[in-house]
Amino acid sequence: MLVDLDRQPDFEIDLWPDGAPGAVNVSVPEEVVHRDNDFGLVDRALHNVTRPRLFVFRSQTPDGSAILITPGGGYKWVVIDKEGYEGARLFSRGGASVYVLMYRLPHQGWAAGPDTPLQDAQRAMRVIRARAGEDRIDPARVMVMGFSAGGHVAGSLTARFDTDVYSAVDEADQLSARPDASVLVYPVATMRKPFTHGSSSENMIGTDPSENLLDKYSLESTTRPDMPPIFLLHATDDLSVPVENSLNLYAALKGMGVPTAMHVFENGGHGYGLRGIDNTPLRLWPELVKRWGVSHGMFNA
- DSSP calls for 155-188: HHHHHSTT---S---SGGGGS----SEEEEES--
pLDDT score of 70: 99
DSSP secondary structure letters along 91-153: HHHTT-EEEEEEPPPTTSS-TTGGGHHHHHHHHHHHHHHHTHHHHT--TT-EEEEEETHHHHH
The tens digit of pLDDT for each residue in 162-199 reads 999 999 999 999 999 999 999 999 999 999 999 999 99
DSSP secondary structure letters along 221-240: GS--TTPPPEEEEEETT-SS
Residue 138 has pLDDT above 90, yes or no: yes
Contact at 8 Å (CB) between 270 and 238?
yes
The tens digit of pLDDT for each residue in 41-77 reads 999 999 999 999 999 999 999 999 999 999 999 999 9
The tens digit of pLDDT for each residue in 279-291 reads 999 999 999 999 9
Beta bridge partners of 13: 54
Q: What is the DSSP letter of 30?
A: P
Q: What is the DSSP letter of 84?
A: I
Quick one: CA torsion of 100, 102, 107, 113, rounded to 10 degrees? Answer: -80
φ, ψ of residue 264 in degrees (nearest 5): -115, 115
Mean pLDDT of 248-273: 98
Give rounded-to-5 percent helix, strand, coil for the chain: 30, 20, 50
Residue 301 has pLDDT above 90, yes or no: no
Kindly report the number of other CB atoms within 10 A of residue 137's CB atom: 24
Does residue 270 sit in helix, strand or coil? Answer: coil
pLDDT score of 218: 98
The tens digit of pLDDT for each residue in 69-90 reads 999 999 999 999 999 999 999 9
Kindly report the number of other CB atoms within 10 A of residue 38's CB atom: 8
11-295 in CATH: which number?
Answer: 3.40.50.1820
pTM for the whole structure: 0.98
Q: Is 107 exposed, middle or buried (0-12, 13-18, 19+ CB in 10 A)?
A: middle
* Structure confidence at residue 1 as a pLDDT band (50, 70, 90): confident
- Average pLDDT of the chain? 97
Residue 292 has pLDDT above 90, yes or no: yes
For the chain, percent of residues with pLDDT exceeding 90: 99
Our measurement of the distance from residue 268's CA atom to the centroid of its chain's CA atoms, rounded to an integer in Å, reads 20
